[in-house]
Each structure stands twice: as C-alpha cells, then as structure tokens.
Structure 1
C-alpha cells in the first residue's frame, strides 16, 4: 500500500515538473518545464503511427534472432570444429562491435558490394545478427544447465543423441531461457530507435521528422518516450505472467 502511494506521489511530481508553473521557493524563482501543447496535439498522431512499425520490427527481429541464436548455440556446443569455430567467430564479432555501427554497415556499406536492402530489412538484419549473438550465449547456458545425468539416462534407454537433444534437453532448456528471451524482446523494442538513423519511419524516426524542422524536438522526444515507456510496461506485465506460469 505504501509503495503504491509513493508511486502515485512520484508520478504526480513528474507531471508537475512538466507543468510550466512558475513560483518562488525561499525567495528563489523556480520555473518548471513547459511543453508546447499545440505541437503535441498537432503531431501526437503522426508520431504515434510509428508505434506499429516499432512493434512489427521488434517482433520480426526477435523471432529471427531466436532462431539464429538457437542454431548458433547448437553449433557452438557441437564437436564439429568448423561449426563451433564459426559460432565463436560470429558471437565475438557481433558482441565486439556497436549495434549502431552494424545498422550503418548493413544499410550503407553493403550496397558497395551489390547487396542493397531497404530500411526495414536492414534494421531486421542488424537486430537479428546482434541479438542473435547475445541470445546464443543464453541458449548455450540453458542447454548446459540440464544435468548430464539426464543425457546418460536417455542413452541408457536407447535414445540416440539427436533424440536426446530434441526430446529431453531442449524442452527443459526452453523453459529456462524463455524469461531471458522476454527480457531481450523488451530491450530490442527500445533499440529499434537506432533504425531512425537509416531513414526508417518507426517511432523515433517520426519523432525526429516532426520535431527537428519545427524546433520542438523536446516535445517530440517526450511523446516518443511515453510510448516507449508504455510498451515496456505492457511487455513487462506479460513477461511477469509468463514467468509465474513457468514457475508453477
């Protein structure tokens, strides 16, 4: 109860900080921030239309990244040297370079080699490769978390290695890594803002397009921030329910 009351208080103070009120505190003039209401009313819908593209980009990318991460984890755990070394190189390269650089490389550098991709496809590829590398380690840890005794028991029952992996190891590993995949999805939803650098009209791109030419970038960023915050709250809610379900 007390925590809820404090949360309401902090939200009220946050709203007051953007109210534009002027007052004196111990003789010192104080002025809170003031948003241009006319700009917000006029451009709210234009900026908000980027939410659909942001969510679509996040959803397609997390599905592709999950698939890539799973395959990379299997390759990394395999005893086949070409596959395990390729997985290690991929993970090291993607984790060792900034995501922003990867966006620009795919969209602006690859055309020099004859590979031209649109803004959306470039963003999906960049997010897939980057998050696939990080999630590969999550899958690897999830698979290795399954006790080796279960593998030995499966072999004792006559199961082949691939049957053991698909029927015994992976179903348990997916339960372990699923909450982490949810965390990655939430983080990816915010990293889609980098796609505005390659002319994709997602949420951040629309905020820049509306705010910069009209000298109201502050208001445009506030609108975008509210949407990112709301999306994060919604996704966190469903992730929490999923974690409680898996716990049971």
Structure 2
C-alpha cells in the first residue's frame, strides 16, 4: 500500500484511488437524479402552496400556512424518518429511493413556496390590471404575465435551494439509499478510514456544488441580459 504521513495522519492513497470512483458513481447514479427529481416535484408542490397562500379563500390560505409551517418547523431527517419508517405502520410500504423523493420533495415544496410567493408579489400590481384589461381571467394573467416575470426574480433563490438539496440528499443514507455518502459509509465499514473516506465524499459534494454554482451564475447572467434588452 502507498501511504503518506501528514503530522499524525496517515493517508492511504491506494484506498483513496480505489474508493473515489464508487463514491462518485453513487453521486452520479443516485445523488444527482434524486436531487433533480425531488426538486421538480418540490417546485410543483411549492407552486400550489404559493397560489393557495395568495388565495383570498381563508381555508385554502390556512392549509398552505399549516403545511409550510410544519415543513419549515421540523427537521428534514425527522420528515424522512416519518415517511420511510412511519408509513409502513399504516400498511403503506415504500422503497428507500421513493421514500427519499417524497420527503425531499415535500421539504423543497415548503421552503420554495415562500420564495415563489414573494416573487409573485414582487411583480407590480399594474401587471395584474393590464391582464384583466385585455380580458384575461385570474389564472390566464398569472400564467401568461405574472409567472414569467416572477420566474426571473425567483431563479437565484431557487438555484440556491437546489444546491442545498444536493447536499441534503446525504440524509437519504439513513434509509439505505446508496447515494454518495452511503457509498462512503459502506467502504468505511470495511476499511475504518473515516477521515479519508468522509473527506473524499465531502470533496465530491463540493465539486458537484461548485459546478452547479457556475451554472447558476451563467443562468443569472443570461437573465440579466434578457431583462436589460427588454
């Protein structure tokens, strides 16, 4: 084996080299797809909750408020445990991957709902009036006029939400989803080199988030150019 001693820490480079691909593969096969799928469903939930929050119907407002309060007021790990370990008590069996998607989607929905609601409220009220003036109803005005403008405002915070979600997928390891961190745990169970393998997992998370941050910057720059040209 090839070792490198740094202070009191011995680095096994051979183990690092052999473990890097399995951990990276766990990220590519499970972590990124899990984050993308959960984010898409989470945005759907968030859109519904945001519209309910903006509704003038009190019961609908209450439903959205309670949902958002519960999601934002409880830890994601607890939500994940309730979905995966709790639902079988009701006779609902669910796979680890699907359970993680449900929990992460609901969590994203609760947080992104407030982002979307704030983005919609940032659009001047005159835009609503303009839609009504040309004969559009509430939902037509929302879809054709308000949401396109609100989308430009919501991109930066929603991008940050997605990057955070990529890191939060590590909690799926608690329900045996073999994502990035779970792969590191499995290798650690046989090598007992916790510092090396967990640092390697952290490095891969950082690489993922670094490139996502670059992508976010490009999207924001394009949106800024689009807004400036209109």
Q: Secondary structure at the match of 2:110?
A: helix
More helix by share: 2
Displacement of 1:213 in angstroms is 3.1
The answer to whether the aligner puts 1:20 opposite 2:5 as a matched pair is yes
Q: For 1:209 and 1:144, locate their aligned partners in 2 and report how far apart those are by CA, in whole Å.
A: 47
Displacement of 1:32 in angstroms is 6.1
CA RMSD, Structure 1 to Structure 2 (Å): 1.5
Which range is displaced more, 134-143 or 148-157?
148-157
Displacement of 1:153 in angstroms is 2.4
* Higher Cα Rg, which structure: 1
Q: For 1:162 and 1:51, locate their aligned partners in 2 and report how far apart those are by CA, in whole Å.
A: 39
Q: For 2:21 and 2:218, locate their aligned partners in 1 and report how far apart those are by CA, in whole Å.
A: 31
Tell whether the 8 Å contact from 1:155 to 1:164 is kept in structure 2 after alignment. Answer: yes
Q: For 2:8 and 2:206, locate their aligned partners in 1 and report how far apart those are by CA, in whole Å.
A: 22
The answer to whether the aligner puts 1:205 opposite 2:190 as a matched pair is no
Q: Secondary structure at the match of 1:34?
A: strand
TM, length-normalised to structure 1 = 0.85
Unaligned residue ranges in structure 1 (runs of 5+): 1-18, 22-30
The answer to whether the aligner puts 1:60 opposite 2:37 as a matched pair is yes
Q: For 2:138 and 2:82, locate their aligned partners in 1 and report how far apart those are by CA, in whole Å.
A: 40
Hey, what does 1:28 align to over in structure 2?
Answer: none
Q: For 1:43 and 1:155, locate their aligned partners in 2 and report how far apart those are by CA, in whole Å.
A: 60
Between the two proteins, the alignment pairs up a number of residues equal to 222
Q: For 1:103 and 1:159, locate their aligned partners in 2 and report how far apart those are by CA, in whole Å.
A: 42
Hey, what does 2:155 align to over in structure 1?
Answer: 178
Superposition pairs of residues 89-104 of structure 1, within 5 angstroms: 89-104=66-81
TM, length-normalised to structure 2 = 0.92
Superposition pairs of residues 21-170 of structure 1, within 5 angstroms: 21=6, 31=7, 33-52=9-28, 53-170=30-147
Q: For 1:157 and 1:41, locate their aligned partners in 2 and report how far apart those are by CA, in whole Å.
A: 64
Runs of 4 or more above 3 Å deviation: none
Unaligned residue ranges in structure 2 (runs of 5+): 226-230
Q: Secondary structure at the match of 1:206?
A: helix
Q: Secondary structure at the match of 1:201?
A: coil
Tell whether the 8 Å contact from 1:78 to 1:84 is kept in structure 2 after alignment. Answer: yes
Which range is displaced more, 57-66 or 148-157?
148-157
Cα 1:151–1:40 shift into 2, 3 Å: same
Superposition pairs of residues 224-243 of structure 1, within 5 angstroms: 224-243=201-220
